[in-house]
């Protein structure tokens, strides 16, 4: 093994140890403790924040630049999906409605 291989192995082992330690931190402690109220409240919004961080850039950009035309199937599909969600509060119906708008515009009109 040369120096690079040893360095790579050391980094992998180090990252594995950090991962195991941070993920098992709550099991290692013998105390029973709870997160503060503000942290519990903040964690309620984490999934929607993460989803928004992934979905919104995908809707409004093309290869890292903002879209410059209204003829983009993703815009209309996102609007339809949002409308259906606020109307029915059903995630599956939201996905189906968004795809029902997206596919004809994208495949049929080439948007």
Give the pLDDT of residue 2. Answer: 63
Q: What is the pLDDT of residues 50-101, one digit of tens each?
A: 988 999 999 999 888 998 888 999 999 999 999 999 999 999 999 999 999 9
- Burial classification of residue 77, based on how many CB atoms lie within 10 Å of its CB (0-12 exposed, 13-18 middle, 19 or more buried): buried
* Percent of the chain's residues with pLDDT above 90: 53
Give the pairing of strands 61-62 and 65-66.
antiparallel
Question: Domain spans of the chain?
Answer: 1-33
Does 11 have pLDDT greater than 90? yes
pTM of full prediction above 0.75: no
Distance CA 50, CA 65 (A): 21
Q: Is the dihedral of CA 68, 69, 73, 75 positive or negative?
A: positive
Give the pLDDT of residue 53. Answer: 93
1 compared with 42, residue with greater pLDDT: 42
* Percent of the chain's residues with pLDDT above 70: 97
């Amino acid at each position: 093994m040369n120096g690079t291989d040893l360095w790579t192995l050391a980094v992998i082992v180090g990252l594995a140890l950090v991962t195991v330690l941070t993920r098992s931190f709550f099991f290692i402690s013998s105390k029973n403790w709870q997160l503060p109220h503000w942290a519990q409240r903040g964690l309620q919004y984490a999934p929607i924040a993460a989803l928004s961080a992934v979905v919104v850039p995908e809707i409004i950009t093309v290869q890292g630049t903002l879209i410059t035309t209204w003829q983009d199937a993703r815009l209309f599909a996102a609007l339809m999906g949002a409308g259906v969600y606020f109307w029915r509060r059903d995630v599956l119906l939201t996905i189906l409605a968004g795809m029902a708008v997206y596919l004809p515009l994208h495949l049929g009109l080439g948007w």
